[in-house]
Amino acid sequence: MVNIILLGPPGAGKGTQARRLVEERGMVQLSTGDMLREARTSGTDMGKRVAEVMDRGELVTDEIVIGLIEEKIAADTGQGGGFIFDGFPRTLPQADALGAMLTRMGQRLDAVIEMRVEDEALVSRVSGRFTCGNCGEVYHDETRPTKVSGTCDVCGSTDLRRRADDNAESLKQRLMEYYKKTSPLIGYYYAQGDLFTVDGLAEIEEVASKIAGVLAQSASS
Ligand code: ADP
Ligand code: ADP
Ligand code: ZN
């Protein structure tokens, strides 16, 4: 069992690779972005506050996301092939909280995989992104279109959605948040000896095989 973090700016390809790892290795994907998008549809006060913050491209408070992750980890039956933390942690306090949670469970972090993508490429990544509202498959207008226009390849649903925050203006703000609050995690995990970097600009298959290489390496160490 391996526990990994996928770290990278918005649009780096974290969700795309996480879904493959779930398929191929039975790992459990914990995406705070997905959890928060679910929370905002709940109509609660918390959901409404979260929606405003997300639409501005800012980070939701540490308290909320740490709480969401704790809940999901506690609900896990331990049958899975390890956790993929996708979009979490995004701040140093979140990283400390995750370390403490794993220690309490007698588990460890095996690898932090930084997906490096230049800023210029991110605009087209997020502006072409759409997902299946039914199964969550991630697509892109140019780099990963559906085989049949308007229909999900995986489940056949026609409920294909774009995110309200996937526009150039919000991306600018999200990138600023990334550099101010999340990028320090690269140094943090490097110093812990857990950091691996892959080229996120390569094709989806190529990135997947680089990640597989990292997993093989960290499982044998
Ligand atoms: P992307 O896939 O573009 O990186 P996510 O789906 O991970 O974006 O996150 C969407 C939004 O949800 C973020 O812009 C932020 O507002 C919020 N969010 C997600 N994860 C976290 C987190 N760990 N801490 C704080 N806010 C988060
Ligand atoms: P993140 O979860 O890091 O925000 P996603 O996995 O949602 O990123 O990917 C962002 C967009 O880029 C999606 O539209 C996805 O289909 C596309 N994409 C992901 N990985 C690649 C890649 N290696 N090459 C080209 N496009 C990609
Ligand atoms: Zn689908």
C-alpha 147/C-alpha 139 separation (Å) is: 10
Look up tokens 């390849």; give the residue: 153
Could you read off the pLDDT of 148-159 as tens digits, one per residue?
Answer: 999 999 999 999
**pLDDT reported for residue 1:** 84
Angle, vertex CA 15, rays to CA 149 and CA 41, nearest 5: 80
Could you read off the pLDDT of 114-127 as tens digits, one per residue?
Answer: 999 999 999 999 99
**pLDDT reported for residue 42:** 86
The catalytic residue positions are 14, 90, 129, 163, 174
Cα within 13 Å of Cα(16), Cβ side: 24
What pTM did the predictor assign?
0.97
Instruction: Assess whether the C-beta atom of 87 lies below 6 angstroms from ligand 1.
Output: yes
Two tokens, residue 95: 């990283």
**pLDDT reported for residue 202:** 98
Angle, vertex CA 41, rays to CA 40 and CA 44, nearest 5: 65
Q: Which of 7, 35, 59, 70 to mutate to test the pocket of ligand 1 (most atoms within 8 A of CB)?
A: 59
**pLDDT reported for residue 76:** 80
Instruction: Assess whether the C-beta atom of 54 lies below 6 angstroms from ligand 1.
Output: yes
C-alpha 3/C-alpha 174 separation (Å) is: 26
The strand pair at 83-86 and 28-31 is best described as parallel
Query: With a cut of 70, which residues of the chain have pLDDT below it?
Result: 79, 221
